[in-house]
Chains A and B, each alone.
Chain A
């Protein structure tokens, strides 16, 4: 087990360098001079462009820029963005908000999605099953921004239950509605995933054995059935945390949450490679570690899986 984890952690290193270089390269390859549009409909003075180019080493070849960036990064220095702000400051303010939002979304989708999935999986083709089937279809069909704007308008403007936008450092309570919006589509997938999995495993031999042994229904479902049916759901949830964090651009915009989504978007457009890579570095780590965690959870859920 320990060796397995170590091996997986070592695998992170090449993945880490590979992804960061790719992203750095891609941002670099985005067409457009980063300073061409800085002065509105007037050409920027040469002196300004020269000053900025020198300050951010934009004359260097791409591999050298990446090298300089990595060297500083490994010493804990994320560098500065084009407006002279420390990128580490940007990360420190933006990341907790995004993480909180993603966790709220994850909790909501796990709770509601799983409950709906288990209930419908146990009673297939009943009224509830059809209801969930239709409502999840509805959620999947709705783009996030529609859900977001509608809920914000109803709760925030019409009924005044919440503020349309959240505060500087939003609390978990404030993030309930944004979290629901962000997690709504995944929630629908989880419900369907759990339903299929449960329905399939209900006919499995080990469940029949458990029932034949005379175990109470609660134990059959809660321990035997659920544990085995959870594997695909856990896989989905694990990778979804990263997806939720990286994919929150729209939700963050609607509810005015100061998170990484908007920062990444803005930095891509303004060709601030260092900012994009810095944010993505952390995101990559989240993805990789979550994947590892999911793999380890398999062993806990399915007795047939053991790591050497």
Chain B
């Protein structure tokens, strides 16, 4: 979900910025000569769009800082495997409905107060309470009593307003003692513990409730390995090692400056001249012709991230209600050629409905992701052909034009349909049309998993009423298999059910997985051992100075 902002909106909002010069600014320029413990690094970022409150941040600029500053109940390993306990001592359940969560004693917030069970409960209640208007409020919808604290607008965009919720606390959350709380879900959900590493579920210190979210967001207090020092709008955010941090992912360096760039080429030039120690995504201009490889050599990193580009069908449009037609279109796209020619190999052709990095996902489970012109033509004939113009839509404020046009061209060449791609000027207008169900052709839909489980690639996208099921796909069999999966006793049983659901989706083709994403990052000559997390952000605990 976050990536779509990177791919779509952030390109336009590309936060403004400014930069510390190596000699003038001082932060990056002090050549520490291998003194990691006192070392300082500078990494790139963008201006957060809103104040730094975990449940209210969905975009990458602020999300990155929050990921650095907070540690949740569980953490996701860098290689994308199953989550491991972090602040949680244990998470236990017998029926996947009531979870007893014990947290470790002695972990601290940056203001010195201890992280207690009520910090989680209070934070979640705050995020779910609809008058607080948190962007991620709906993440708590599994918890019992959510409907009482989170009311919906009865007529969508219309004049009526959502009623005031009856209560401000979810009945499913109970503090047992300082280090134990229970979570009762409204229905059994086996994947719930996996979700808990997502930033929305972070604890908030007591100080948060004594001030306003706006004030807190300017000077946030987390419980992670680095603490907040200062934030100069559009210029930089300074973080420093939190010395009282007790969990495994301690950072070795002392200071981290996040430079807020407005232009990724400027950041790249800083990287080349060693004024920047890490750039998360090398700009497209440097990827062309593999320039970045010759520029950076061993300083370049190429890692897969759990992001896929998908093209979704508007199933509310009569013309796209024939599954054979959708299958034909999907089989007519030469994904390999697009990955090679348009993305210079920085994307891989998709072959799964989830992502290769996703726990429970299976590579190759997307049988319609292959390029099969013969079968495509047959299916099109079976579906009775396609009349009129087939338009693929994308948001034109990020670099999607080339590959979307290649998709349209591929369909046109294979099936002989009059296909073309059309850009919608901005991501905001694009999303508005999608939300309103006004798309007149297949459209781009990026997806980054929120948490590493195949459930995240099915529930929100293909289950009836899913939060991002914008094409209005609905199949009772999928819903049933998905529900059985969420109520399964353990993860393996759940994944088996999700695989069943995926099989049906693979026959219905409500959307077309196109490519999975690799991220190209770069480091300066000063740092070593740099690794990236499961979402491609820099793993601060890995960084050492040369």
Contacts and interface: CB of A to CB of B under 8 A. Distances in A.
A23 interface: no
A167 B447 contact: no
Contact of B262 (A33, A252, A269): A252
A50 interface: yes
Nearest to A250: B263
26 contacts: A32-B428, A36-B429, A38-B59, A40-B5, A41-B431, A43-B470, A44-B135, A45-B134, A46-B162, A47-B133, A47-B150, A47-B151, A50-B133, A83-B49, A83-B51, A84-B50, A157-B269, A160-B273, A164-B272, A164-B273, A168-B236, A256-B18, A258-B17, A269-B12, A269-B428, A270-B12
Interface of B: 1-5, 8-9, 12-25, 48-51, 58-59, 130-135, 137-138, 150-153, 156, 161-162, 214, 217, 232-236, 261-263, 265-267, 269-270, 272-273, 275, 397, 425-432, 435, 445-447, 460, 467-468, 470
A122 to B, nearest CB: 41
A contact patch SS: loop
B9 A37 contact: yes
Given A93-B234, A168-B18, A32 B13 contact: no
B269 A166 contact: no
A163 B432 contact: no
A43 B235 contact: no
Contact of B428 (A37, A49, A166): A37
Give me the 9 closest cross-chain CB pairs, A-B, nearest first: A51-B133, A47-B130, A164-B269, A258-B18, A37-B428, A165-B19, A32-B428, A36-B432, A40-B4
B275 A163 contact: yes
A126 interface: no
A160 B370 CA distance: 48
Interface in A48-77: 48-52
B contact patch SS: loop
A39 interface: yes
B370 to A, nearest CB: 25
Contacts of A263: 16, 234
B59 A40 contact: yes
Given A47-B137, A263-B234, A253 B262 contact: yes
B161 A50 contact: yes
Interface string A133-157: 0000000000000000100110011
Contacts of B273: 156-157, 160, 163-164
Given A38-B58, A156-B273, A165 B130 contact: no
A40 B261 CA distance: 20
Given A33-B432, A41-B446, A93-B233, A167 B18 contact: yes
A85 interface: yes
A258 B8 contact: no
Given A47-B131, A82-B50, 10 more contacts: A32-B428, A36-B432, A38-B135, A45-B150, A46-B162, A47-B132, A83-B49, A163-B23, A165-B21, A257-B18
Given A93-B233, A164-B275, A165-B21, A83 B269 contact: no
